[in-house]
Amino acid sequence: MSELEYTDEMAAADIPATMESVEIVERVRAVSEGDRTADEVGDLFRNEGHIVIKMAKSKFVSALSSAQKAKIDALSL
């Protein structure tokens, strides 16, 4: 989907799922790498990737609150 097809409404609708991804990343990162299960490693990979994809969309970033953006930025992805 090109940036031109990605609407403000779509960006707003993507925020809850992306913030859920942030919570998953924070939860898995809190587990020592050596103690992570295979499922947790997969969850981390998928959810970090999801966040990176969304943050590449300017309309999505514009739709975030400053608190949401700060929480995502703190992940240093």
Closest CA to 74 of 37, 19, 34, 31: 19
Question: Looking at the predicted structure, is the pLDDT value of residue 2 above 70?
Answer: no
Closest CA to 28 of 18, 20, 36, 38: 36
Question: Looking at the predicted structure, is the pLDDT value of residue 4 above 80?
Answer: no
Look up the pTM and report it: 0.91
pLDDT value, residue 10: 96
Closest CA to 63 of 2, 20, 13: 13
Give the whole-angstrom CA distance, residue 47 versus residue 2: 21
Residues 6+ apart with CB under 8 A from 19: 68, 71
Q: What residue ranges do the domains of the chain occupy?
A: 8-73
* CB atoms near residue 22 (< 10 Å): 20
